[in-house]
């Protein structure tokens, strides 16, 4: 009898903890969403981005926030040991290192460190990668496709 009462309270505590955790997670995601949208608004005001592009970006933000609520992504690279992550990343970006003259004769330790910082981005036709007179904070390497370089602002 005593053990069933203890089991009852343990299960009740587990359920209460789970529901509290879920509620906190939802509120945290809402807070992050509003924080990111405020940052995006301030960034676009600072760089004087036109209203049409701003509206497209906020529609994208809303759609991604709704989709992200449906599932939770797990970043497996945070779970794995760093040496294993370096090997995976170097394999992912090996084609870039092999075919680029800049990286061809570099030390493997440097390439592993660089591979940890590299990210893959996919762009649709007509997307603008950089604007004239704006800050450039990344280097772009085109694996496949065509980039049109325009001096005149569209």
Share of the chain above pLDDT 70, in %: 86
pLDDT of 42 over the 70 cut: yes
Give the residue with greater pLDDT, 132 vs 25.
Answer: 132
Instruction: Output b/e per residue, 2-34; b: 16+ Cβ within 10 A.
Output: eeeeeeeeeeeeeeeeeeeeeeeeeeeeeeebe
The pTM of the full predicted model, rounded to 2 decimals, is 0.45
Residues 86 and 112: beta-carbon distance below 8 Å: yes
The pLDDT of residue 68 is 65
* Structure token pair of residue 26: 């939802």
Other C-beta atoms lying within 10 Å of the C-beta of residue 114: 16
Q: Which phi and psi (to 5°) does residue 6 adopt?
A: -65, -45
pLDDT per residue as tens digits for the range 43-68: 888 888 888 888 888 888 777 777 66
- Quote the pLDDT of residue 23: 67
Query: pLDDT tens digits for 61-116?
Result: 777 777 666 555 556 677 778 888 888 888 888 888 888 888 888 898 898 888 88
pLDDT beyond 70 at 153: no
DSSP state of 100: -
Measured CA angle at 48 (ends 42, 128), to 5 deg: 100
Give 122's pLDDT tier (boundaries 50, 70, 90).
confident
Burial 36-67 (b: 16+ CB within 10 A, else e): eeeebeeebeeeeeeeeeeeebeeeeeeebee
CB atoms within 10 A of CB 107: 8
Give the per-residue pLDDT at 93: 86
State percent of the chain over pLDDT 90: 1
Q: For 22-30, which contacts have Cβ atoms below 8 Å and span 24 or more sequence positions?
A: 26/69, 29/65, 29/68, 29/69
pLDDT in tens, 132-152: 777 777 788 877 788 877 776
Residue 33, both tokens = 């969403």
Spatial separation of the C-alpha atoms in residues 65 and 42, rounded to whole Å: 19
What is the pLDDT, as a whole number, of residue 74? 57
């Amino acid at each position: 009898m005593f053990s069933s009462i203890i089991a009852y309270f343990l299960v009740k505590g587990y359920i209460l903890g789970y529901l509290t955790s879920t509620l906190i997670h939802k509120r945290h995601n809402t807070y992050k969403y509003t924080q990111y949208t405020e940052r995006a608004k301030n960034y676009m005001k600072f760089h004087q981005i036109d209203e049409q592009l701003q509206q497209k970006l906020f529609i994208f933000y809303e759609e991604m926030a709704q989709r992200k609520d449906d599932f939770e992504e797990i970043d497996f690279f945070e779970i794995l040991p760093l040496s294993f992550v370096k090997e995976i990343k170097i394999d992912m970006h090996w084609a870039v290192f092999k075919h680029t003259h800049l990286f061809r004769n570099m030390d493997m330790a440097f390439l592993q460190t660089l591979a940890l910082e590299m990210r893959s981005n996919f762009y649709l036709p007509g997307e603008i990668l950089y604007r004239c007179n704006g800050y450039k904070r990344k280097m772009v390497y085109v694996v496949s496709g065509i980039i049109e370089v325009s001096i005149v602002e569209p």
